[in-house]
């Protein structure tokens, strides 16, 4: 059971009553004659009365829409029925991004308060702050998206069609996203660093009308011509009947010649002059966005998200949890192939200015990215624990590099944020007034299960608590598939959602019966793969696959690893994140990265824990290091956490988003053969691990470390 000792308090809001979340709480009290006082009060009410909560949130968010919902949702339906929310309401993503509506305005009113014509909406900064910084005002963003929407419509793009983007975190990418959704089309994106196989695994599934593709990319100071990749992708689309062509987006001033590529044309040639078309307002539950699972063990799932579910969740997270407003300036470090790209551009819904950064955050040096935060007067930064780790390891203190006075929130996601980095953040890294927000959610819900809030303190470890309106629980992970059971407070288990909320996906593309019309896309039902992926673990609950625990005193949710990667030697279950934290805390000067997996082959009676260490250049892997690592794990955790094998590896497999990948390695060392996914950045790295399916033979003839 987790310790009930309260961890170190690092931050609390100087005036919680002067926050958007507290104002929302007061509005709930006023409308529903309640006396809610705390975040826990508000969350408990939000999950016990989901129709009241989301109905109130819908009104509070001032979305632009038409129609009227007879009800918010049928709360009697279990989550695996995937109930539809706000039936009768129609809205449009692009319209709500580009315009605003005040509380006194009619439902369909389109205003520009907070999004005034001459106010800057978007800033694009390239790697290392190289070249000219590009900006678009709200007027220019509206005009650019409208012009592209007119061109798409002239080429036959309509509601329900798919539009795919393979490109950078750039202004042009944002225009494609906004223009496609303007027409009610479904947008999907991949990053240019993904291999052809990975791009095609995603793109051919959804059979797009058009692919928009950057003609070049820059990363780590190196410029790469992407025309060869373009040609291979076009060739791979031969079996897609809807595919009409590829549009080449110039990444530099002079466009590359694409005349030799079949079905390809230049961005400038695709654009056409003409009035912007009307916004296509589509049902609240209609699809507008497709993102993909990591696909580390097979073809990525094409996860289809609803326009209304994502929009109301973005309003909740952005305005209530993150206090975003038209005065905010946000920079999320992300590629377009990750769900955090959505989080980046969704800030436009609040009228915030969005800074689009493209490239490595470490080029030309570790301080260049930090200086951009000061130059752009960023108020909200989204980053990964890996970035913080590298900055801390190199002795850099961001607060000493540039003026971070405007910064209010730093969000961290993508992997577990270690306790050590929590303390470094406040003791050395950033100004103490900044709210460190550790997030955990996923592509599957286009949002968060665990996240920050301004009403409670930040303690060392985990996320502050659950997201409003999301009914989470912790189930016993040792139970077989079937009925679930909640664990005792503080005990680790599997994260589940026990009732429906708006931002679960409507279905997986290709998993529903064939659809021929835009209307059928909006009404399609989830198929068998969807139910197997999310509802096959426990009856009538969403199983997210995370192994977590809730601190009994603070309510913090600690994410310990993936449930399918939980280590279980001799029946003692723990997460790989616990091992990584010890290695990072004690050996970061010698060990560049680590991977911890369980091995259980058909002949094994018990699971063995394997810890692979990737050494830093010039550092030696030897018996002394192994002894030190095992001793540190024994000392800081328990003797039962100590890996049976500590081994050296030349490379850790990661996705293109730099998330380390455990499950394929676990399967390989347990004797299975794994087909590498196209989403792996370094699929060849898996080859090294096959030898350890016979680890005894590998170690034969040498002394086991």
DSSP bridge pairs for 648:
613
Query: Phi first, then psi: what are they for 356, rounded to 5°?
Result: -95, 115
Other Cβ atoms less than 10 A from the Cβ of 253: the count is: 7
Tens digits of residue pLDDT in 366-381: 999 999 999 999 999 9
Residues 35-51: what's their mean pLDDT?
Answer: 98
Tens digits of residue pLDDT in 545-603: 888 999 999 999 998 877 777 787 877 778 888 899 899 999 999 999 999 999 988 88
Element (H, E) at 165: strand 162-166
Average model confidence (pLDDT) for the chain? 93
At residue 547, the pLDDT reads 87
Domains in the chain, CATH or no CATH each: 135-280 (3.40.50.980), 567-699 (3.30.300.30)
Tens digits of residue pLDDT in 123-173: 999 997 767 799 999 999 999 999 999 999 999 999 999 999 999 999 999
pLDDT band at 518 (very low <50, low <70, confident <90, very high): low
At residue 1, the pLDDT reads 45
C-alpha pair distances (Å), 611 with each of 569, 582, 615: 13, 12, 13
240-254, 270-284, 522-536: which range is least confident on average? 522-536
Residues 688-698: what's their mean pLDDT?
Answer: 95
- Indicate the Cα dihedral angle 170, 172, 173, 176, nearest 10°: 160
Distance CA 697, CA 693 (A): 9
Question: Which letter does DSSP use for residue 567 in this model?
Answer: B
Distance CA 702, CA 18 (A): 65
Distance CA 231, CA 667 (A): 35
Question: Which letter does DSSP use for residue 10 in this model?
Answer: E
Tens digits of residue pLDDT in 169-228: 999 999 999 999 999 999 999 999 888 988 999 999 999 999 999 999 998 889 999 999
Q: Return the exposure string of 349-367: e unless at least 16 CB atoms fall within 10 Å of the residue's CB, then b.
A: bbbbbbbbbbbbbbbeebb
Of 681, 95, 24, the closest CA to residue 348 belongs to 95
Distance CA 366, CA 393 (A): 11
Distance from chain centroid for Cα 411: 12
Does residue 213 or residue 703 have the better pLDDT? Answer: 213
At residue 273, the pLDDT reads 81
At residue 515, the pLDDT reads 52
Distance CA 379, CA 430 (A): 13
Residues 501-514: what's their mean pLDDT?
Answer: 88
Does residue 386 or residue 110 have the better pLDDT? Answer: 110
pLDDT reading at 704 higher than 70? no
- Extended strands (E) in 32-113: 65-66, 90-91
pLDDT reading at 537 higher than 80? yes
pLDDT band at 513 (very low <50, low <70, confident <90, very high): low
Residues 678-698: what's their mean pLDDT?
Answer: 91
Distance CA 52, CA 643 (A): 49
Give me the DSSP letters along 389-449: HHHHHTT--HHHHS--TT--EEEE-SSPPPHHHHHHIIIIIS-TTSEEEE-EEETTTTEEE
Distance CA 657, CA 414 (A): 8
Residues 23-27: what's their mean pLDDT?
Answer: 99
pTM for the whole thing? 0.88
% of the chain residues with pLDDT over 70 = 97
Query: Phi first, then psi: what are they for 663, rounded to 5°?
Result: -60, -45
Distance CA 248, CA 270 (A): 9
pLDDT reading at 118 higher than 90? yes
pLDDT reading at 312 higher than 60? yes
pLDDT reading at 336 higher than 60? yes
């Amino acid at each position: 059971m987790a310790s009930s000792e309260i961890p170190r308090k690092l931050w609390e809001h100087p005036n919680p009553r002067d926050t958007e979340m507290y104002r929302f709480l007061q509005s709930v009290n006023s409308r529903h004659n309640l006396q809610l006082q705390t975040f826990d009060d508000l969350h408990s009410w939000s999950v016990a009365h989901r129709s009241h909560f989301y109905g109130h949130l819908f009104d509070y968010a001032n979305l632009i829409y038409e129609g009227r919902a007879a009800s918010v949702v049928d709360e009697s339906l279990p989550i695996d029925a995937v109930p539809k929310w706000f039936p009768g309401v129609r809205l449009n993503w692009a319209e709500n991004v580009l315009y605003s509506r005040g509380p006194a305005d009619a439902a369909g009113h389109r205003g520009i308060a907070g999004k005034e014509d001459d106010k800057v909406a978007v800033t694009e900064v390239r790697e290392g702050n190289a070249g000219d910084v590009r900006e678009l005002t709200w007027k220019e963003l509206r005009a650019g998206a409208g012009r592209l929407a007119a061109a798409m419509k002239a080429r036959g793009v309509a509601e329900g069609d798919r539009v795919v983007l393979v490109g950078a975190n750039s202004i042009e990418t944002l225009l494609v996203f906004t223009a496609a959704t303007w027409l009610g089309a479904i947008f999907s994106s991949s990053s240019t660093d993904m291999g052809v196989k990975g791009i095609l695994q995603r793109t051919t599934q959804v059979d797009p009308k058009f692919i928009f593709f950057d003609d070049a990319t820059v990363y780590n100071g190196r410029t790469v011509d992407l025309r060869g990749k373009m040609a291979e992708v076009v060739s791979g689309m031969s079996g897609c009947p809807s595919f009409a062509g590829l549009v080449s987006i110039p990444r530099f001033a002079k466009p590359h010649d694409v005349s030799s590529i079949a079905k390809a044309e230049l961005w400038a040639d695709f654009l056409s002059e003409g009035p912007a078309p009307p916004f296509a307002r589509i049902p609240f539950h209609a699809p507008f966005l497709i993102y993909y699972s990591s696909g580390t063990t097979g073809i990525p799932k094409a996860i289809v998200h609803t326009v209304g579910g994502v929009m109301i969740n973005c309003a909740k997270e952005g305005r209530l949890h993150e206090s975003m407003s038209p005065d905010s300036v946000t920079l999320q470090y992300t590629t377009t192939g990750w769900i955090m790209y959505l989080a980046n551009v969704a800030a436009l819904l609040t009228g915030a200015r969005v800074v689009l950064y493209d490239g490595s955050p470490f080029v030309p040096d570790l301080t260049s990215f930090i200086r951009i935060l000061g130059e752009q007067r960023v108020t909200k930064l989204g980053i990964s624990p890996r970035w913080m780790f590298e900055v801390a390891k190199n002795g850099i203190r961001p607060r000493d590099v540039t003026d971070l006075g405007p910064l209010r929130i730093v969000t961290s996601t993508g992997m577990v944020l270690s306790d050590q980095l929590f303390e470094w953040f406040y003791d050395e890294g950033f100004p103490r007034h900044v709210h460190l927000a550790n997030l955990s959610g996923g592509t599957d819900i286009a949002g968060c299960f665990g996240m920050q809030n301004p009403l409670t303190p930040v303690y060392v470890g985990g996320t502050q608590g659950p997201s409003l309106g999301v009914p989470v629980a912790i189930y016993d992970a040792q139970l077989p598939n079937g009925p679930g059971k909640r664990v005792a407070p503080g005990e680790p288990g599997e994260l589940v959602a026990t009732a429906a909320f708006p931002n679960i996906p409507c279905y997986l593309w290709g998993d529903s019966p064939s659809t021929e019309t835009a209307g059928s896309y909006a009404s399609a039902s989830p198929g068998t793969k969807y139910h197997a992926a999310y509802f096959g673990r426990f009856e009538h609950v969403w199983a997210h696959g995370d192994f977590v625990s809730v601190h009994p005193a603070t309510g913090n949710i600690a994410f310990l690893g993936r449930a399918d990667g939980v280590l279980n030697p001799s029946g003692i279950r723990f997460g790989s994140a616990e091992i990584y934290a010890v290695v990072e805390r004690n050996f970061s000067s010698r060990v560049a990265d680590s991977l911890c997996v369980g091995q259980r082959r058909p002949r094994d009676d018990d699971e063995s824990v394997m810890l692979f260490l990737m050494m830093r250049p010039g550092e030696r892997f030897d018996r002394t290091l192994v002894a030190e690592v095992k001793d540190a794990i024994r000392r800081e955790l328990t003797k039962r956490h100590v890996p049976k094998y500590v081994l050296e590896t030349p490379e850790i497999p990661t996705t293109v988003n730099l998330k380390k990948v455990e499950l394929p390695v676990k399967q390989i060392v347990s004797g299975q053969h794994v087909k590498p996914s196209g989403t792996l950045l370094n699929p060849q790295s898996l080859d090294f691990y096959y030898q350890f399916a016979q680890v005894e033979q590998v170690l034969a003839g040498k002394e086991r470390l």
